[in-house]
Amino acid sequence: MSAKVIDGTAFAAQVREKVATHVAGLKEVHGITPGLAVVLVGEDPASQVYVRAKGKQTVEVGMASFEHRLDAATSEAVLLDLIARLNADPAVHGILVQLPLPAHLDEDLVINAIDPAKDVDGFHISNVGLLATGQKAMVPCTPLGCLMMLRAHHGSLSGLEAVVIGRSNIVGKPMAQLLLGDSCTVTIAHSRTRDLPEVVRRADIVVAAVGRPQMVPGDWIKPGATVIDVGINRLPPAEEGAKGRLVGDCDYDSCAAVAGAITPVPGGVGPMTIACLLANTVTACCRAHGVPEPEGLTA
Ligand code: NAD
């Protein structure tokens, strides 16, 4: 069997198109332009790339982008003051503080200072609680993107066995909550799980979010299962000076030989994450103004 490839790049383009259509409608009918503020503290190269991509895509779908780049030595007080101003700014519907923050800043404190209604990353404890209790929340972008692709592939997820490998607050835990919300039977596996291969073998849906290159081989996968590979890992370069190849947490070739469907790395979950950030921003904007939300862009 050769798995169907779930094309995250194409799917993300569809999500962005839906967002752009809704944004155009908001402008035309209500005179509202959704706005996303991204805050970057310091000069982490990977974060700079992400922030640039987020700003570019925000503008491309017709939303306003506000970028705030702060020095690595910025104090907590200055950062909290900026967040308070963004919370109060009616042109800003979504606020994202790019993580990781420099070590002297308390990430939990900073994230929880964001107005939960503008918390488009879905990391504020209020949104975590709303998601856990099945209420309307802002949902973390990466798991939301995974859920959208799973729903599109399976239709209903009800009753399916899902195994999420990884228990981070950003991916693993919210992913498990979302799958539970769609009535899957959910197992969260992690670094202390006993006999991980056996746990994974019972899954109709495997979501791997570990950060270990190619750790899931094809012989852990139940024939026909759907594999969602969240991991982004760079292999050591083949030759000096070159860049190593990007791979996921799953061994693509052996998993694709057994699975029913699989997301590639790159081109799977990655592109969906920013698309879902845009989706969350338009959703937050609609909720703030009490106008109908776009369909199919939330959990
Ligand atoms: P994390 O380091 O916070 O969490 C990793 C989890 O893996 C932990 O819960 C740990 O218990 C588990 N783990 C570690 N070793 C294990 C093992 N041997 N067996 C089973 N479980 C094990 O990482 P994260 O932030 O959740 O990210 C996970 C991966 O997803 C990384 O590669 C990251 O780059 C990637 N990621 C991708 C996107 C995207 O947009 N595609 C977004 C976020 C994270």
Domain residue spans in the chain? Answer: 31-115, 141-271
HEC assignment per residue over the chain:
CCCEECCHHHHHHHHHHHHHHHHHHHHHHHCCCCEEEEEEECCCHHHHHHHHHHHHHHHHCCCEEEEEEECCCCCHHHHHHHHHHHHHCCCCCEEEECCCCCCCCCHHHHHCCCCHHHECCCCCHHHHHHHHCCCCCCCCHHHHHHHHHHHHHHCCCCCCEEEEECCCCCCHHHHHHHHHHCCCEEEEECCCCCCHHHHHHCCCEEEECCCCCCCECHHHCCCCCEEEECCCEECCCCCCCCCCCEECCECHHHHHHHCCEECCCCCCHHHHHHHHHHHHHHHHHHHHHCCCCCCCCCC
Ligand 1 touching residue 190 (CB < 6 A) = yes
User: Higher model confidence: residue 94 or residue 239?
Assistant: 94
Nearest residue (by CA) to ligand 1, atom 22, is 191
Ligand 1 touching residue 140 (CB < 6 A) = no
Nearest residue (by CA) to ligand 1, atom 6, is 166
Mean pLDDT of 63-91: 98
Same fold, 31-115 and 141-271: yes
Mean pLDDT of 47-75: 97
Dist. CA 210 → ligand 1 center (Å): 3
Mean pLDDT of 232-253: 93
Dist. CA 211 → ligand 1 center (Å): 4
Spatial neighbors of 256 by CB under 8 A, at least 6 apart, are: 2, 3, 5, 218, 262
Beta-strand pair 233-234/246-247: antiparallel
- The pLDDT of residue 1: 60
Nearest residue (by CA) to ligand 1, atom 19, is 191
CATH code of the domain occupying 31-115: 3.40.50.10860
- The pLDDT of residue 271: 96
Is there a catalytic annotation at residue 121? Answer: yes
Dist. CA 239 → ligand 1 center (Å): 27
Spatial neighbors of 56 by CB under 8 A, at least 6 apart, are: none
141-271 CATH fold:
Rossmann fold (3.40.50)
Mean pLDDT of 51-76: 97
Residues 197-211: tens digit of each pLDDT: 999 999 999 999 999
Of 98, 119, 173, 222, the catalytic one is 98
Is there a catalytic annotation at residue 54? Answer: yes
Nearest residue (by CA) to ligand 1, atom 35, is 231
* First-to-final CA distance of the chain: 31
Assess whether pLDDT exceeds 70 at residue 82. yes
pTM above 0.95, yes or no: yes
Dist. CA 169 → ligand 1 center (Å): 10
Percent of the chain scored above 70 by pLDDT? 100
Residues 101-157: tens digit of each pLDDT: 999 999 999 999 999 999 999 999 999 999 999 999 999 999 999 999 999 999 999
